[in-house]
Amino acid sequence: MALCLSQVFNKDKTFRPRKKFEPGTQRFELYKKAQASLKSGLDLKTVVQLPPGENINDWIAVHVVDFFNRINLIYGTMSEFCTEKSCPIMSGGLKYEYRWQDDHKYKRPTKLSAPQYMCMLMEWIEMLINNEDIFPTRIGVPFPKNFQQVCTKILTRLFRVFVHVYIHHFDSIISMGAEAHVNTCYKHFYYFIKEFSLIDHRELEPLKEMTERICH
């Protein structure tokens, strides 16, 4: 069955878009520009490049929020297949296990099931992107000095969602007819993080072969 918008935006689902850009703001205009480029059929490698005259942190902020929403939705569409029983450990195959740490409730890396990890991850990212000290929305308010490091941490953890979904739930992606949609989102994400060197190459290892195949 093909993945449709009504499925993706089902209000009963736990995972759905949680952050929107306010109309009239510079960030909203940048978001519209990015979306227009995506829909124009341009090469994704070109789409992710910083537009002339734009601030790099604004550009990164727009994409981090957009990727959060998109990946949140992708996982939400297949969360029924990712259960405590099917995925008792948050992993990417036999070689990679991801433990959760947030310096609040989990001060040390802690084993969690994949559904628990995903829930903690989405709540943690939502908290960060709604924090005005980290993702300022008011004109004239500067980004913090560690802004790109925070974004690197967010994007690194979002990449792990792709790892888990591709390695453990690819059959479900295919059965829903969502393969092309997920692949396009992954390629967009991958070209963006490569363009701005936002994720350590070692983190990309679990999907290296697939990436070489679909990201030419």
Provide the annotated binding site for Zn(2+): 82, 87, 164, 169
Residue appearing with tokens 């092309």? 180
Q: DSSP code of 97? A: E
Residue 205 near residue 156 (C-beta atoms within 8 A): no
DSSP H stretches of helix in 79-200: 114-129, 147-175, 179-195
Rounded (5°) CA angle 2-72-151: 140
Return all residues near 53 (Cβ < 8 A) that are at least 6 apart. none
How crowded is residue 63: how many other Cβ atoms within 10 Å of its Cβ? 23
List residues forming the annotated binding site: 82, 87, 164, 169
Distance separating alpha carbons of residues 8 and 172, to the nearest angstrom = 14
